[in-house]
Amino acid sequence: MKAEIKGNILNPLPVALVGALVNGKPNYLVIGYISPFNFGKHVFFSLFKKRYTTVGIHENMTFSVNIPSISLLQETKLCGSKSGRDYDKTSLFDTFFGDLKTAPMIRECPLNMECEVEQIIDYDLNEGIIGKVVKSYADSNTVFDGKLDIRKVQPIIWATCGDFNYYNIGARVDE
């Protein structure tokens, strides 16, 4: 027998810290629903229009996607609970830039992507942001034989349905 579950049950998903320059200053917010598509050449996420970070995304048409490890849980939770309007998040992280000079990335995150906005979809109180991945970066200790080992990344995983809590990734199940 199956139980009916309301809402989207595609989970778990990685927690992402999306970065943008807002009024010339790096800002980061937590995104729990982010998805790659077009074989990883693009990413998509939804964002409440009133979020402070939307100002920078619209202004520069760039953003970053930073995947924090479980060692950054407290900083991630802080980014998810405080607005950049009221709290300077630049003190939490060492920021760096890649080819796009307006997509701030977090050095402490083991995975980073710099993205150009390709489309913004307007739907009521939210926007759908589609970004083209310009370049991806990974800490060298997470890459073996040119391949990413997600176990070394130790990403924070978000349960999108049910208890809405953070988790970590489990063991590899097939060699």
- CATH number of the domain to which 57 belongs: 2.30.110.10
Tally helices (H) and strands (E) across the chain.
3, 14
pLDDT at 10: 78
> Minimal CA–CA distance to 59: which of 146, 11, 1, 117?
117
Q: Which domain holds residue 39?
A: 15-138
Omega of the bond leading into 12 within 30 degrees of 0 (cis): yes
| pLDDT by position in tens, the chain (length 175) | 998 877 777 777 889 999 999 999 999 999 988 999 999 999 999 999 999 999 999 999 999 999 999 999 999 999 999 998 999 998 999 999 999 999 999 999 999 999 999 999 998 999 999 999 999 999 999 999 999 999 999 999 887 666 767 788 877 777 6
Q: Which amino acid is present at 148? A: L
In a domain, 42, yes or no: yes
pLDDT at 51: 94
Cβ contact 159:153 at 8 Å? no
**pTM (2 decimals)?**
0.93
Distance CA 70, CA 85 (A): 26
Distance CA 68, CA 167 (A): 12
In a domain, 175, yes or no: no
What total of structural domains would you count in the chain?
1
In a domain, 72, yes or no: yes
